[in-house]
């Protein structure tokens, strides 16, 4: 899939930990039992939800090599605790799927077994994403418990890209219109089940710096919030812009500047998809040559664009104008520094896309290169916000 290529840059098995101290609190079931009230058996996941997280949740997620941002969720209702799965949190897709016992390919490691969950119910419909089947079960995301959540259970994950991935599935956060099989995304079930104070979620993506050191475990420090924003993750004002297509998180781009000078490349309007599942900044293919020329990058024999590491501070700042506000990317944001066998080399974290947006305008993709600079807020009242990240 599109979001997994960059995982090959750094290969480390990281243990994702949701830093929500659920096990340290008396469960809701236990507290009610002491008062003579017994919850029904189909509601066991309430054991793992502390009162203080009702309506919102902040969960730490892992950053693996500045290429993948993933964290732990739990699925099903076996004896406690329910099994944990590492999932990529992806604003560029809409489905939730995980490895399952039906999958026998090398990529399937941590497998969900529906026969071990008393709350699982099956569905005959299959899905095309990874050749799998759909089912329903209880899902816990950062302490927010979603009932009857549709889940894709993979039966086949071909190729090597899933083998090296550091996660067991994907949790899609885009709009239901692009959901495979017409299934209801996690966010939509949170909304319909009145689990959130506000119908928003937000990302803070940290820098792992694994390119500057030996390969190591995925680093925490990135944050995913549901139902609210974390004011400690950004500074200054939040700037809002409307969503232009309720498919992906797509927005309009009014201008593109190099060192503060308008290029005119988006004078007729560009579009951009904001995608946490893409590690790079993706530019329209027809602009790629001009951008690399402005940066002074040279293409290597392997197709990568490279720059002299000693010249990083002299490279231009690239800026996007969105709803009248300029969002700069300094060279420290779009240049990736690598260290290998005692040698340093620097590549440009920008790749081309050859597809236009659905309305035919030049299409950018704001992947993690952009999103590490800006705290991003996704409001299902059809607005997307950016603020300077700490």
Give all domains of the chain, ordered by start, each with its CATH number: 2-226 (2.40.70.10), 231-389 (2.40.70.10)
- What does the pLDDT read at residue 83? 85
Whether 275 is catalytic:
yes
Residue 107 has pLDDT above 50, yes or no: yes
82 and 74 in contact (C-beta within 8 Å)? Answer: yes
Above pLDDT 70, what percent of the chain?
Answer: 78
Mean of pLDDT over the chain: 83
Q: What is the mean pLDDT of residues 287-291?
A: 97
- Of 67, 359, 90, the closest CA to residue 249 belongs to 90
- Tell me the three state secondary structure of residue 126: strand
Whether 90 is catalytic:
yes
Question: Whole-angstrom Cα distance, residue 254 to residue 265?
Answer: 9
* Active-site option among 90, 137, 168, 188: 90
Residue 287 host element (H or E) = helix 285-295
3-class SS letters over 80-106: CCCCEEEEEEECCCCCEEEEECCCCCC
Choice between 220 and 83, residue whose per-residue pLDDT is larger = 83
Question: Whole-angstrom Cα distance, residue 373 to residue 387?
Answer: 9
Choice between 2 and 269, residue whose per-residue pLDDT is larger = 269
Choice between 154 and 176, residue whose per-residue pLDDT is larger = 176
- What does the pLDDT read at residue 167? 85
* Active-site option among 137, 188, 275, 368: 275
């Amino acid at each position: 899939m599109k979001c997994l290529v960059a995982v090959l840059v750094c290969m480390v098995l990281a243990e994702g930990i949701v830093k929500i101290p659920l096990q340290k609190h008396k469960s809701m079931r236990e507290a009610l039992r002491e008062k003579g009230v017994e919850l029904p058996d189909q509601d066991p996941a309430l054991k793992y939800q502390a009162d203080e997280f009702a309506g919102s949740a902040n969960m730490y997620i892992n950053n693996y090599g500045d290429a993948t941002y993933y964290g732990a969720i739990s699925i099903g209702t076996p004896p406690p605790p329910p099994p944990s799965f590492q999932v990529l949190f992806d604003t560029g897709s809409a489905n939730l799927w995980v490895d399952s016992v039906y999958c026998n390919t090398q990529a399937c490691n941590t497998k969900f077994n529906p026969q071990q969950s008393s709350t699982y119910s099956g569905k005959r419909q299959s899905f095309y994403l990874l050749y799998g089947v759909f089912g329903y079960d209880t899902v816990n995301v950062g302490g927010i418990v979603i009932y009857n959540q549709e889940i894709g259970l993979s039966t086949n994950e071909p190729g090597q890209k899933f083998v090296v991935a550091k996660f067991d599935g994907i949790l899609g956060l885009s709009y239901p219109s692009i959901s495979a099989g017409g299934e209801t995304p996690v966010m939509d079930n949170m909304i319909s089940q009145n689990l959130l104070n506000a119908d928003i979620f937000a990302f803070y993506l940290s820098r792992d710096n694994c390119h500057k050191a030996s390969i190591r475990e995925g680093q925490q420090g990135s944050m995913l919030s549901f139902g609210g924003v974390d004011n400690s993750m950004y500074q200054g004002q939040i700037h809002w812009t409307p969503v232009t297509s309720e498919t992906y998180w797509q927005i309009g781009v009014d201008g593109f500047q190099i060192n503060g000078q308008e290029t005119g490349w988006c004078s007729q309007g560009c579009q951009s998809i904001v995608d946490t599942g893409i590690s790079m900044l993706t530019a329209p293919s027809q602009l790629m040559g001009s951008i690399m020329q402005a940066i002074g990058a040279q293409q290597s024999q392997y197709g990568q664009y490279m720059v002299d590491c000693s010249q990083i501070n002299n490279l231009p700042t690239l800026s996007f104008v969105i709803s009248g506000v300029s969002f700069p990317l300094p060279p420290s944001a779009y240049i990736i520094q690598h260290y290998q066998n005692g040698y340093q080399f620097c590549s440009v974290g920008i790749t081309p896309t050859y597809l236009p947006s659905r309305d035919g305008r030049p299409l950018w993709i704001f992947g993690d290169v952009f999103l590490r600079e800006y705290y991003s807020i996704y409001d299902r009242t059809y607005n997307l916000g950016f603020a300077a990240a700490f």
